[in-house]
Amino acid sequence: MLKEEFSRPFVRALGQALKATTPAFDRDAFARACLRGWTERELKDRMHRIADQLAVFLPGNYLQQLRKLRAVHDQFTGLAHLVFSDFVERHGLSHPDPSLDALLEFTRLSSAEFAVRAFIARDPEGMLKRMQAWTTHESEHVRRLASEGSRARLPWATRVPVLLEDPAAVVPILEALKDDPSEYVRRSVANNLNDICKDHPELALKLAGRWSRGASEERRRLIKHGLRTLLKAGDPRALAIVGVGPPVGVKLTELRVRPRSVLVGQSIKLSFLISAGGEGSRLRLEYAIGFRTARGQESRKVFQIWEGEFSERKRNFKKAHSFRPITTRRYYTGRHALYIIVNGKEMGSTNFMLKPAE
């Protein structure tokens, strides 16, 4: 489990590192305080607990404590390293300059994307201007932080009202990074754009449309990934931006799903025939499954099959879909619908039964 990244050995190793540089630090008392009720604590609760106990047991005021943490943080990596940024978020808001300097250092070993949001909420205008300056930083980790930390719907993160309500304030950051040499940074820009799609689709479409003019291959991939929510919804404006028009002259036949009755843990295979007029056109093929909910209603999820230039008159397509258990979805048994979508238009449907695993 992810929460085990914040483990007893990590707490003790952190205490030992601090003891080596700060002899007055009581590592044993620190460990006991951190680990009280440890088994029941989940990931964020463990992280917050460690950060708060650092503030209790490290000698000195916040700025002195921060210097001690900066002296040892590079001995740790991965998810557990987030505790350093969490300390800054929880205890350093009243010292923005040294706190943000520390976050730029910490983000190179584990992202400070969660911690910066508290500073945005405290001073939106000033913080977004500061983050725009980060877009020219030599480190790709800092440049990515400018985009990732300003996402409206960053997973696991605290919502910041100004980012949800007025994403236009983030646009200068995205403009500066849309052609960044790092794929790591450009992927963050795409995810930020996709967040905007969910609450302000008109702004996202305007931005993507402007970016699409004279776009490089790298920027076209960014736009496509950034518009994925609208593309899956079949939005004709988003489809047009990525070069996909209405499916004129396209027919779908011979739609089949096998087996018609499948157990949780098994897979179905779907197949169909696409016929076109013979002239080359760009097709985007998707399928959607109408998953049953706890109340017996339908919740659709769209999946990609194929996208490209279709120059044949006819072509068979096949796709498998697994119903193996996953952490992000709970399966409810019963009749499920399956839809085939061509260029955003539903062109065929069938159904199958999902049964409990034996």
CATH code reported for the domain at 2-241: 1.25.40.290
Q: Residues spanned by CATH 1.25.40.290 within the chain?
A: 2-241
Write down the mean pLDDT value for the chain: 97
Q: Are 197 and 226 in contact (CB under 8 A)?
A: yes
Q: Residues spanned by CATH 2.60.40.10 within the chain?
A: 251-355
CA distance 302 to 287: 6
pLDDT at 327: 86
**Cα torsion through 193, 290, 326, 353, rounded to 10:** -170
pLDDT at 311: 87
pLDDT at 78 over 80: yes
CATH code reported for the domain at 251-355: 2.60.40.10
The whole-model pTM stands at 0.93
CA distance 61 to 313: 74
pLDDT at 1: 79
pLDDT at 295 over 70: yes
User: Using omega within 30 degrees of 0 as the cis cutoff, is the peptide bond preceding 259 cis?
Assistant: yes
Lowest mean pLDDT across 98-107, 174-183, 326-335, 339-348? 326-335
Residue 277's pLDDT band (cuts 50, 70, 90): confident
Residue 279's pLDDT band (cuts 50, 70, 90): low
Q: Are 290 and 336 in contact (CB under 8 A)?
A: yes
pLDDT average, residue stretch 78-94:
98
The tens digit of pLDDT for each residue in 110-165 reads: 999 999 999 999 999 999 999 999 999 999 999 999 999 999 999 999 999 999 99
pLDDT at 278 over 70: no
Q: Return phi, psi of residue 247, to 5°.
A: -80, 60
CA distance 53 to 31: 9
